[in-house]
Amino acid sequence: MPLRKSILPPISYDDKTPFQRGASKIEEESFGDPHKKLWEVLSLTLTKKWPISLLERTYIKENERTLDRKEKQIRDAVEKGDVTEARKLISQIPLDSSKALDGWRKALAEPKATIKGPASGSSLKLNIEWVKNNSDQYKGQWVALKDGKLLGHHLDRHKLLAELKCLNQLKGALLFKVKE
């Protein structure tokens, strides 16, 4: 990779601002990550309370435009349904480049599934067995089961829900309508 030419006038080391010293480093090394360099330069500038020059402002504005373009590319990829491309684009951008891009990074992160314990504790097998043996008696009705036991039944689902709620039996109940 070729070395980047300096656009700064020659200045003695003692007269250089932190930004100019950072630019000199860029000149000496092969050109690295511009976002990382920007944060190094800004942190030096802000901690030493150096005034920001026109050149520095131009550099910052250009980086902001680059990040805006990247964000637009990510948004376009997501809107097209190409999440893989959006993830690829966001992976090329350094962390903490901007709050908006960090939001995209979080939204596009691979989903993580975790198991925190048993489901509801109800036995689906017992409920299926009850349906096989007893569903003929309740055709066209809403039925509520838990652990293979009938909690209630009604033609109106809302009334059945209200009844179960009053009896404090709604949690873990399996509700379904038996076909006629």
pLDDT digits (tens, 9 = 90+) for 37-94: 666 666 665 555 555 566 666 766 777 788 888 889 989 999 999 999 999 988 888 8
Rounded mean pLDDT of the chain? 75
Q: What was the pLDDT predicted at 13?
A: 42
Are 94 and 42 members of one domain?
yes
pTM of full prediction above 0.75: no
Mean pLDDT of 156-165: 92
Q: Which domain holds residue 147?
A: 124-177
pLDDT band for position 145 (50/70/90)? very high
Task: Please give the Cα distance from 124 to 147 (Å, whole number).
Answer: 7
Contact assessment for residue 70 and residue 105, using Cβ atoms and an 8 Å cutoff: no
Strand segments, DSSP code E, in the chain are 142-146, 149-154, 174-177
φ/ψ bin of 168: left (φ > 0), alpha (ψ from -120 to 50), beta (otherwise): left
Cβ neighbours around 133 below 10 Å, total:
10
pLDDT score of 24 more than 50: no
Asked if residue 117 belongs to a domain, the reply is no
Q: Do residues 84 and 154 both lie within one domain? A: no
Closest to 170 measured CA to CA, from 149, 153, 136, 146: 146
Mean pLDDT of 125-140: 90
pLDDT of residue 12: 43
Where does the pLDDT of residue 141 fall: very low under 50, low under 70, confident under 90, or very high at 90 and above? very high
Distance, CA of 103 to CA of 110 (rounded, Å)? 14
The amino acid at 40: E
Same domain, 28 and 98: yes
Residue 23 shares a structural domain with residue 102: yes
Tell whether 143 and 86 lie within a shared domain. Answer: no
Total domains in the chain come to 2
Region 118-126 average pLDDT: 70
